[in-house]
Structure 1
Amino acid sequence: MGRHKQFDPDAALAAALDVFRRQGFEGASLTDLTNAMGIQRPSLYAAFGSKEELFQKALERYREQCPVFGASICAQTSARSVAERLLYGAADQQTDDANPPGCLITLGAVLCSDEHSSVRQLLADARQETQEALQSRFERARAEGELTIDADPASLARYLMAVVHGMAVMAASGASRAALRDVATFALRAWPTNAPSHVGMEAETSPA
């Protein structure tokens, strides 16, 4: 008997991530996934477990590649630069021609049924983790005097995340990078400090 064709799990996971980004969790059928990954269902189950486990692994890969939702976003030198990096980085990433438009964390399970509530929760947890990291960074900025004492770190974090998620919907609907960067610029007008800009419109394009 002939030997089974070997496959590269890393390349297969990258292919699965692309399918999930384009079609969401429920929209991506097992046939879509196995065709893109170049494997049969038994190999998918053996290497990655269930479809939900595959999605979780793809989400982990996405977050590794996605600086907007990574821990490094809060490593900027000021709270203002964190906000700029987040917004302009999201605009660039969500409109990168090399990848499907929008954001997996925002759109990946928008239409999931109750049957897959665990997938919705997985993405909600990812969003919440980023929001909490932003809030913690802004609390430090307020304690250090960069933000005024009456600035609300929790509200700032929620505001920025709401803008980022709205931009993802716009990108998925065909909005251009220029349009999303315009949204980012407008959103930053609400920033509660006159601290100088560190990223601004010249922000380096973020990889997806």
Structure 2
Amino acid sequence: MAEAMGIASASIYACFGSKADLFRQVMEVYGTTYGGPPRRALNEHPTTRAAIHAMLRATADQVTITDAPHYCMLILAAPTGAVENHAVRESLADIRRSQFTEIRDRFVRGVAAGDLDMSDAGLDAIARYYATVVQGLSVQARDGADRAELEAVITCAMAGWDTLLDARAPLPGPQR
């Protein structure tokens, strides 16, 4: 990379500290640029359902941008690898965990505002489900799914909304 840009690697290290530090800074910019629309969607819509739906659609838009790689670097960069990349993998995992937290926080706000009629008991599972759908959209795009195919996945994910949020129906799995 340094050679292709005509920059000495010493200059890169002097500016960024290390490859890992450079990667973290790239991910910050990437997160702001490509992660901004889905994050904004969570906050700009009056209902939680509309916010989640818009977030999924914004994600599909971002991972299928023309003239850009069809995937999310956050999901697919360094999930595995050498031991020396542990700090980078953990940094990426922290960002992915923050996505889950942002989605969960939107559900909590919906409950507090009376938009959702449910207890906090199932919010972790539902938020994790939608975070998994977000991450899956990226993997599907990487494997060649186009925007229309991702929209079909989003339609399926939203079709389960009422069942997932039915406070009378217990969610499978451990509850907190």
TM-score bracket for this pair, using the shorter chain length: 0.7 to 0.9
- Is the CA contact (8 Å cut-off) linking 1:69 and 1:130 kept in structure 2? no
Aligned residues, how many? 160
Select which of 56, 72, 76 maps to 1:103: 72
The answer to whether 1:115 aligns with 2:87 is no
TM-score normalised by length of structure 2: 0.83
Match of 1:157 in 2: 127
Structure 1 runs of 4+ off > 3 angstroms? 35-38
TM-score normalised by length of structure 1: 0.71
Match of 1:179 in 2: 149
Q: 1-side partners of 2:77 and 2:64: how far apart?
A: 16
Q: 2-side partners of 1:83 and 1:155: how far apart?
A: 14
Q: Deviations over 1:128-171 (max 9, x none)?
A: 11211211121121122211224722222101110111111111
Cα distance change, pair 81–36 in 1 and its aligned pair in 2 (3 A): farther
Select which of 91, 94, 100 maps to 2:63: 94
- Is the CA contact (8 Å cut-off) linking 2:80 and 2:89 kept in structure 1? no
Q: 2-side partners of 1:93 and 1:135: how far apart?
A: 21
The answer to whether 1:81 aligns with 2:50 is yes
Match of 2:11 in 1: 43
The answer to whether 1:34 aligns with 2:2 is yes
1:90 to partner: Cα distance:
1.0
Instruction: Give secondary structure in 1 for the equivalent of 2:57.
Output: helix
- What percent identity do the matched residue pairs reach? 35
How much is the aligned-residue C-alpha RMSD, in angstroms? 1.8
Q: Where in structure 2 are there 5+ consecutive unaligned residues?
A: 164-176
Match of 1:55 in 2: 23
Instruction: Give secondary structure in 2 for the equivalent of 1:111.
Output: coil
Please state which structure has a larger fraction of its residues in helix: 2
Q: 2-side partners of 1:49 and 1:166: how far apart?
A: 33
Question: Which protein has greater RCO, CA pairs closer than 8 Å, 6+ apart?
Answer: 1
Cα distance change, pair 37–57 in 1 and its aligned pair in 2 (3 A): farther
Q: 2-side partners of 1:115 and 1:82: how far apart?
A: 38
